[in-house]
Amino acid sequence: MTKFVAGPCVIESAELLDCVAERLVEINNKLGVEIIFKASFDKANRTSLTSYRGVGLDKGLQMLSDVKQKWGLKLCTDIHEAWQAAPAGEVIDVIQIPAFLCRQTDLLVAAAKTERIVNIKKAQFLSGEDMLYPYEKAVRSGAKEVWLTERGNMYGYNNLVVDFRNIADMLKISPTVVMDCTHSVQRPGAAGGKTGGNREFVPAMAEAAKAFGANGFFFETHPTPDAALSDGPNMLPLNELEAVIKRLL
């Protein structure tokens, strides 16, 4: 079954979480899919010290737990330090390892020990074949299910390029390979102390990834991306999400 993960980049407010969660439930019911709700309690790798990071671990996990209880959605969030894994694992269904941290052994081991699904995002400096080693770290540490996610490679400054062959290579390692359709259109650090992006390419990124065998799709989405506190330029408008998923089905 195709995996779908979607939600705002970072927790901004309970109202935003409810707005997105309500729409995801509608799409799930209409299309017969299961979209996992994603939002970050902390964005530890923002470009600038002054950039908004989130609400923090304790408050964030409580707000995500409220989404699960109110809307019945499974949850995904990322962790940046090993000590965050255990509390996150009490609430979260899919623990995500950020791309920059995918080789951090202690982080992978701690995530694996939660017995939750571990989604490892491929670093911008690694090939698909290189992801064998992060995958093995998680599996050998007890993870029951490990996904790998493609999100592009750095080619020069402020630019990402997706080599879709990475998807085929990672499918030789893991049965589930996710395409991060929104981070892959980022322009890292290209917006004057912030990350820019080209959201108009998100649907095409998703369809190209499907052609290469991707069986999971990750979308950061927001009702008003231009007003989002993180990753707005590359986020898919919430009112366009259903149409993109329908095309993938």
Domain total of the chain: 1
Could you list the residue range(s) of the whole structural domain that residue 242 is in? 3-248
In angstroms, rounded to a whole number, what is the distance separating the alpha carbons of residues 129 and 18? 38
CATH of the domain at 194: 3.20.20.70
Residue 193: predicted pLDDT: 54
What are the backbone angles phi and psi of residue 159, rounded to the nearest 5°?
-145, 140
Contact of 45 with 67, CB cutoff 8 Å: no
Interatomic CA distance for residues 234 and 135, integer angstroms: 27
d(CA 164, CA 169): 9
Considering only CA atoms, which of 77, 201, 193, 95 is closest in space to residue 144?
95
CA–CA distance, 134 with 96 (Å, rounded to integer): 13
In whole angstroms, what is the distance from residue 97 CA to residue 116 CA? 12
State the pTM of this model.
0.94
pLDDT of residue 231: 81
179 burial class (0-12, 13-18, 19+ CB within 10 angstroms)?
Answer: buried
Burial (Cβ within 10 Å: 0-12, 13-18, ≥19) of residue 74: middle
Query: What's the average pLDDT block by block, 10 residues per block, for the chain (249 residues)?
Result: 96 98 98 98 83 93 98 98 98 97 98 98 97 98 98 86 97 98 80 68 96 98 94 91 97
